[in-house]
Amino acid sequence: EKADEINEARLALWNRYYQNLLPLAESGRLELPVVPEGCVHNAHMFYVKAKDITERTAFIDYLKENGIMSVFHYIPLHTAPAGKRFGRFHGEDRYTTRESERLARLPMYYGLKETQVDDICQVIKRFYA
């Protein structure tokens, strides 16, 4: 019954993260999500990409020290225990592992307030200052 309301609220928060962090992306400090032209999304998460796994680890630790929970998003299937046991990787892993090691998810949930997004973004800006 509240799906549209929830989706609109998430999209507003997603856009707020994006606008707040855009100067960091424009200066090359981090990367923001890309939504291809002509596509829409449901804003189910917001992530940033750090330079590498070392920076991402320091970033997640810094956020935690400041009371903000951030997690990495995934490990590539070919490196997961079941993937190693049951799967095969074909070709060269030029992107998957490297990109997975850069990605950090920011808080995104029903009830998150715009002021909280602003506060999170301020902490992120301090990390990259």
| Mean pLDDT, rounded, of the chain | 94
pLDDT digits (tens, 9 = 90+) for 17-53: 999 999 999 999 999 999 999 998 989 999 999 999 9
Q: Spell out the SS3 assignment of the chain.
A: CCHHHHHHHHHHHHHHHHHHHHHHHHCCCCECCCCCCCCCCCCCCEEEECCCHHHHHHHHHHHHHCCCCCEECCCCHHHCHHHHHHCCCCCCCCCHHHHHCCEEEECCCCCCCHHHHHHHHHHHHHHHC
Q: How confident is the model at residue 73 (pLDDT cuts 50, 70, 90)?
A: confident
Find the mean pLDDT for residues 93-121: 94
